[in-house]
Amino acid sequence: MTLNPENWNQLSSEERYVIEKKGTEYPFTGFYDKFYEAGTYVCKRCESPLYTSESKFNSGCGWPAFDSNIEMNIERVLDADGRRVEIICRNCKGHLGHVFEGEGFTETNTRHCVNSISIKFIPY
């Protein structure tokens, strides 16, 4: 279920810093870094489905890592500095993290490096 702007979830000041101001949580501090239960990860603000547990892997980077996303629910945007590619929720435009390619962690050769604070887990 995706929420409309008038009923998006209320965010804490830390969540607003990351999701609205494009901040980053400290590595190895997020709840979902070493979390591997079966379910779906949704946007913390609007609950749009973003990732499934099948795409999650341990990259050792300190943030939850996914090698694929739910089609059409994530948008890629070049950072202002032109060096990294930001990933945002296509529905609410909330900041999720960054995507990296060519690292060789998985067969897709893609790593979505996501802030735990930007997502919420829904078990199957």
DSSP-assigned beta bridge partners for residue 52? 40
| Active-site residue, 46 included | no
Query: CA-CA-CA-CA torsion for 77, 3, 41, 114, nearest 10 degrees?
Result: 30
Q: Which of 46, 89, 92, 113 is catalytic?
A: 113
- Name residues whose C-beta falls within 8 Å of residue 118's C-beta, 6 or more positions apart in sequence: 15, 18, 19, 43, 44, 94, 95, 96, 97
CA–CA gap between residue 96 and residue 115 (Å, rounded): 6
- Name residues whose C-beta falls within 8 Å of residue 28's C-beta, 6 or more positions apart in sequence: 62
- Identify the helix (H) or strand (E) that includes residue 42: strand 39-43
Q: Give catalytic residues, as residue numbers.
A: 113
